[in-house]
Amino acid sequence: MLLRFRLAALACTLAVVVDFPVHAQDATGPAATDGANRQRSTLARPKRRTGPTPESQPVLLTADQIVHDRDLNLVTATGHVEVDQGGRTLLADTLSYNLKQDVIIAIGDVSLTEPTGEVTFANYFELTGDLKDAAARGIRVLMIDDSRIAASTGHRTAGQGSIFDKAVYTACKPCAENPDQPPLWQLKAQQVTHDENTHLIEYQDAWLELDGVPVAYTPYMRHADPILKRESGLLPPSVVNNKIIGSGIRVPYFQVIDPSHDITLSPMVTSNDDQMLAVTDRYRNLYGEAKTTASIANLSSEGYAGNATVGWHVDAYSRFDLNDEWRAGYQIQRASDQNYLQTFGYRTPQPYLTTRPYVEGFDYRNYAAIEAYSFQSLTTPVLPAGATPPQKSPIVFPLATYNFVGDPGPYGAYWTFNTHAAAISRGVGTDSRRLNTETAWNLPYTAPDGQVYTLTTSLRADGYNSDNLTPQDTKMVDAGRVIPEVALDWRYPFTRLGEHSSQTLTPIVMVAASPYGGNSTKIPNEDSLDFELDETNIFRPSPASGYDRVITGPRVAYGGEYTVVNRGAGSADILIGQSYQLHPQDVLPAGTGLDHHLSDIVGRANVSPSGNVVFQYGFRLDKDSLALRRSEVSSSFGPRPLNLSTAYVFYDRLSPTSPFDSREQVSATLTAQMSHYWSTQLYTVQNLGVGAGPLQTGARLTYEDECFLVTADAGSRHTTVNTFTAGHYFMLRIFLKTLTQFPVDVF
């Protein structure tokens, strides 16, 4: 990095190059004053038997004036001196080479640009002729990630690296108004060594300063330079605090195995005498990646279920391409119990853990997959000692899916074939095996006047084999069904083009017919439990979710969509729909909106008057009273520097006999960019339904510039999850960019 420009063989080439333009000591010719008249010298290196290398290429020296004093054996270049060789460029005000003493000196505003992009600045360079040893004063190094090293003096040792005395390292840019002001953070050391072979920067007797104030001391520290993307060593510690383990500190160690593989060991000790070891293994190549995190803990804390125990968890993921069409992977998530992950600060986006190995293939118009599923709940209430659950979480193996879309034939018609096969077992509870198929012929057609038709005829054939359907019925039963269906979707867009906007009004009618039935009590309901009538399924021939329950019989859905787009301004999209059926669907729970001849009215409205205002609304209205049965509202007001995001959801009670009450909740987040570096967030989640009150309220304060990031998150939770009670929390994250980070869960 430092002092690596090469003028080797300068002495011999000055003697042998005939056309080297120099002035004698007594020359009277004026120095060139512009680039066109600048003097140049091409210094050819001695030829070698091996192939050319950057160090063996000629040295190009340009300057306003080049003088060779043959009596003193001294070559001097002055005025805009530039030396190019081997991808390196040296700029200086003055450069002299003493042929007798074999010493090169560069003076003035000297800068050296390396092939890697690093730039070294100095007031004074002194080098030996072979450039293996060098010394400099007033050194400043700009690395490729914009971090900086400054030192009073420094020297290069045997061409292997650089040593800086009384040096400072920082990633902060100097203050434009006051360059002498200390940076936000800097690492001051008595000595800094940059090893260019191992690409490591080492510090001796170093102090970490924040705004010029020393805050931490270390006798030794090292980290990789920007060229080295990964390096083995200790990672910054993190702190976890909660009522279960007390205060715990995790100190990770990172080990590079090869360019594609590394591992991290994270031991942890706590104030309640618990011990935990976590291991993270990562692998990545051209064909895919794999990451596995596993931990085991000796939990002696009395706050953990009241007994000492051994806890563990596994979180693994992989995906690899087998060839151009097939890939395989897995997701494995498991924990010893539902409290373990929260105890040690592992965050889970879902209230359950999933295990899923799979193989899937993508062809021209086809898709195939073979996979398996297993789940572990993180919210299941703890049963009394000796109690047996009514049924265990299902294991799905195998689960096979195949989707085929044929090439368009005459008039654009095409065939589709979808099949789904699964075996579901619990050990305790219902076990089932099923095969679901659907073959369809589709004919899209657009009339000359703009009417859009889609005709679909399909045949669905399903087979089921189940046992333990109910606690009273444990025998094995078979069930099957064949359901033909025909459906026609009609849409007629009416468009009006204005000078600055376009409007489209589209009436929609969907007619479907199929024989009644198909929902035998011998068919378990595994995947059709979460039906919700909304604008996404009202116009489907069979809006039921999953495979196990089907909606049959004559049915018509009607409605319309209105869209307006203003050029360079806002837009709006509004859709509304309702359906009618000859017989109510008794297969669905009462209150879902399809349990009468006329369905409830569903729709959506997406309105954006400008890029800074977005409003989205989804609803379901009672068919008789037009009372709201479901309402989902989200909005965003203002640009990123000052933005308010809100969300409101309301789900009415399905029926008077439903075990679930109505649910109503509102959340809001206010984000403000208070200055170029400071931003804040205020957030709250409120329950407006049964047991109305706050669920979570907090504030987040962030400072971020080019070298420093700190985030403070504080608030209170008002819900209890398992053994974790409601209460206040404060989390602090400090990042010294390019150097280290300190995540701390204060409480």
Of 170, 188, 221, the last residue of a domain is 221
Report the alpha-carbon distance of residue 510 to residue 486 in Å, rounded.
11
User: Looking at the 3D structure of the chain, how many domains does it have?
Assistant: 2
Report the alpha-carbon distance of residue 688 to residue 648 in Å, rounded.
10
pLDDT at 119: 84
Closest of 162, 2, 8 to residue 85, by C-alpha: 8
DSSP H or E stretch at residue 496 = strand 494-497
Q: By three-state DSSP, how is residue 443 classified?
A: strand
pLDDT at 462: 96
Residue at token pair 């669920």: 695
Phi and psi at 557, nearest 5°, equal: -120, 140
Closest of 159, 220, 162 to residue 190, by C-alpha: 220
First to last CA, the chain: 44
Strand-strand pairing, 494-497 and 555-566? unpaired
Q: Is 348 a member of any domain? A: no
DSSP H or E stretch at residue 633 = strand 628-637
Q: Is 113 a member of any domain? A: yes
Q: By three-state DSSP, how is residue 100 classified?
A: coil
Report the alpha-carbon distance of residue 562 to residue 571 in Å, rounded.
11
Q: Is 571 a member of any domain? A: yes
Report the alpha-carbon distance of residue 567 to residue 573 in Å, rounded.
15
Whole-Å CA distances, 584 to 82, 469, 655: 88, 25, 16
pLDDT at 23: 32
Q: Are 621 and 601 in contact, with CB atoms under 8 Å apart?
A: yes
pTM for this predicted structure: 0.77
Q: Are 164 and 225 in contact, with CB atoms under 8 Å apart?
A: no
Q: Is 257 a member of any domain? A: no
Report the alpha-carbon distance of residue 223 to residue 738 in Å, rounded.
9
Secondary structure (DSSP) of 341-371? HHHTT---SSSEEEEEEEEEEE-SSEEEEEE
Which residues, in sequence order, are CB contacts of 652 under 8 Å at separation 6+?
591, 627, 628, 629, 630, 662
Strand-strand pairing, 233-234 and 213-224? unpaired
Report the alpha-carbon distance of residue 133 to residue 102 in Å, rounded.
12
Task: Dihedral sign for Cα 378, 380, 382, 388, please.
Answer: negative
Q: Is 286 a member of any domain? A: no
DSSP H or E stretch at residue 645 = strand 642-651
pLDDT at 569: 76
pLDDT at 306: 59
Of 221, 247, 276, the last residue of a domain is 221
Alpha carbon 589 to its chain's center: 39
Which portions of the chain are predicted below pLDDT 50? 1-37, 42-51
Q: Domain containing 14 — which CATH number?
A: 2.60.450.10
* Six-digit token string for 5: 């420009």
Report the alpha-carbon distance of residue 291 to residue 261 in Å, rounded.
10
Q: Are 512 and 555 in contact, with CB atoms under 8 Å apart?
A: yes
pLDDT at 610: 85
Of 585, 601, 626, the last residue of a domain is 626
Report the alpha-carbon distance of residue 671 to residue 700 in Å, rounded.
9
Using only the alpha carbons of the chain, give its radius of gyration: 37
Q: Are 638 and 661 in contact, with CB atoms under 8 Å apart?
A: no
Report the alpha-carbon distance of residue 496 to residue 493 in Å, rounded.
10
Closest of 345, 346, 342 to residue 724, by C-alpha: 342
Report the alpha-carbon distance of residue 345 to residue 746 in Å, rounded.
12
Alpha carbon 633 to its chain's center: 27
Q: Is 150 a member of any domain? A: yes
Q: Which domain holds residue 501?
A: 430-626
Q: Are 317 and 331 in contact, with CB atoms under 8 Å apart?
A: yes
* Six-digit token string for 299: 């939990």
DSSP H or E stretch at residue 219 = strand 213-224
Which residues, in sequence order, are CB contacts of 2 under 8 Å at separation 6+?
112, 120, 134, 136, 139, 141, 154, 156, 162, 194
Report the alpha-carbon distance of residue 299 to residue 312 in Å, rounded.
10
Closest of 420, 551, 564, 580 to residue 496, by C-alpha: 564
Q: Which residues pair with 61 in a beta bridge?
A: 41, 83
Q: Is 696 a member of any domain? A: no
Which class for 85: exposed (0-12), middle (13-18), buried (19 or more C-beta within 10 A)?
buried
Secondary structure (DSSP) of 256-310? EEETTEEEEEEEEEETTS-EEEEEEEEEEETTEEEEEEEEEEEE--TTTTTS-EE
Residue type for position 481: R
Report the alpha-carbon distance of residue 113 to residue 200 in Å, rounded.
20
Report the alpha-carbon distance of residue 365 to residue 406 in Å, rounded.
7
* Six-digit token string for 203: 């510090």
Residue at token pair 């008249």: 37
Report the alpha-carbon distance of residue 534 to residue 631 in Å, rounded.
11
Secondary structure (DSSP) of 25-94? TT--PPPP-SGGG-EEEEEPPPP-SSPP-GGGSPEEEEESEEEEETTTTEEEEEEEEEEEETTEEEEEEE
Q: Is 325 a member of any domain? A: no
Secondary structure (DSSP) of 159-205? TTEEEEEEEEEESSPPPSS-TTSPPSEEEEEEEEEEETTTTEEEEEE
Note the pLDDT tens digit of each residue in 650-690.
Answer: 998 887 777 778 889 999 999 999 888 899 999 999 999 77
- Give 680-687's long-range contacts (Cβ < 8 A, gap of 24+): 683/715
* Six-digit token string for 431: 């076990």
Q: What is the DSSP letter of 12?
A: H
